[in-house]
């Protein structure tokens, strides 16, 4: 999950979507609330509303011409309101901040497959994504369907958020997409270096956070993000600013 998050977040930063990740994670809240209310898997509920939200964002953006951030902001506000109303009060803290609850074998297998899918997509499409960032018109002349590519990236973006919801919750998952690429941007000299460093930063934050949370009985989500913040501050002393 951490590797997938680090790779996706690098392109999210270049697309100026890092803050949108924090907002998008809240779109999962109504699904989490309904799942907790009716007793089925909350991650499945969160994933359903998040994927539906992404499809709605993509369609509204394509039809209206409104930029992605504005559309995400509107859907975020509605999702947060609905999610807060329907999520049982006794479960609201875990939904917002995540936790260290055990997962089943099937959840683990699905998580691994989803993570591999995200990683494979980013590595395979990194040149197309970069070209579309530089110039959509140029990308189209090379045969890239930029609208479809944008949809695929939004879906991969959503899957990445879903992967971390159980551990970091809807409030903190976006932070694992914001901080690692900011660390990598300070240190990397090229795109491949940025992808690698962003993934390593996310893995380091998650691994250290898991260790501290397990050994000192701390809340996992805040600890992981706290560790990522410390790594970011340390990286400032070595920044290169080449990207």
pTM of the model: 0.82
Domain with residue 106: its CATH number is 1.10.3470.10
Identify whether 202 is part of a domain.
yes
Identify whether 243 is part of a domain.
no
Identify whether 55 is part of a domain.
yes
Identify whether 161 is part of a domain.
yes
Identify whether 109 is part of a domain.
yes
How many whole angstroms separate alpha carbon 202 and alpha carbon 185? 13
Structure tokens at 191: 């795109």
Q: Provide the domain count of the chain.
A: 1
Identify whether 59 is part of a domain.
yes
Identify whether 142 is part of a domain.
yes
Contact 87, 95 (CB under 8 A): yes
Reading the chain (243 residues) residue by residue, the pLDDT tens digits are: 789 988 998 888 887 776 666 667 778 888 888 887 887 877 888 888 888 888 887 777 777 766 666 777 777 778 778 877 877 766 666 666 666 666 778 878 888 999 999 999 999 999 999 998 888 888 888 888 888 898 899 889 888 888 887 777 766 777 788 899 999 988 888 888 999 999 999 999 999 999 998 888 888 888 998 999 999 999 888 876 555
Domain ranges, residue 164: 2-238
Q: How many Cβ atoms sit within 10 Å of the Cβ of residue 70?
A: 12
């Amino acid at each position: 999950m951490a590797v997938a998050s680090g790779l996706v977040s690098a392109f999210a930063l270049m697309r100026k979507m890092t803050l949108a990740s924090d907002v998008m994670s809240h779109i999962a809240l109504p699904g989490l609330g309904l799942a907790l209310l009716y007793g089925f898997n909350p991650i499945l509920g969160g994933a359903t509303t998040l994927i539906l939200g992404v499809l709605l964002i993509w369609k509204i953006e394509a039809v209206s011409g409104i930029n992605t951030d504005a559309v995400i902001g509107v859907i975020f506000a509605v999702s947060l309101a609905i999610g807060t109303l329907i999520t049982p009060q006794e479960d609201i803290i875990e939904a917002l901040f995540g936790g260290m609850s055990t997962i089943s074998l099937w959840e683990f297998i699905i998580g691994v497959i989803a993570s591999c899918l995200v990683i494979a997509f980013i590595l395979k499409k990194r040149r197309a994504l970069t070209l579309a960032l530089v110039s959509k018109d140029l990308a189209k002349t090379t045969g890239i369907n930029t609208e479809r590519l944008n949809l695929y990236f939004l879906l991969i973006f959503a899957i990445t958020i879903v992967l971390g919801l159980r551990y970091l919750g809807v409030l903190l998952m976006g932070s694992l997409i914001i901080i690692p690429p900011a660390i990598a941007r300070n240190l990397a000299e090229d795109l491949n270096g940025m992808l690698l460093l962003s993934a390593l930063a996310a893995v380091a934050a998650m691994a250290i956070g898991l260790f501290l949370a397990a050994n000192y009985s701390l809340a996992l989500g805040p600890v992981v993000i706290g560790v990522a913040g410390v790594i970011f501050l340390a990286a400032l002393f070595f920044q290169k600013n080449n990207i």
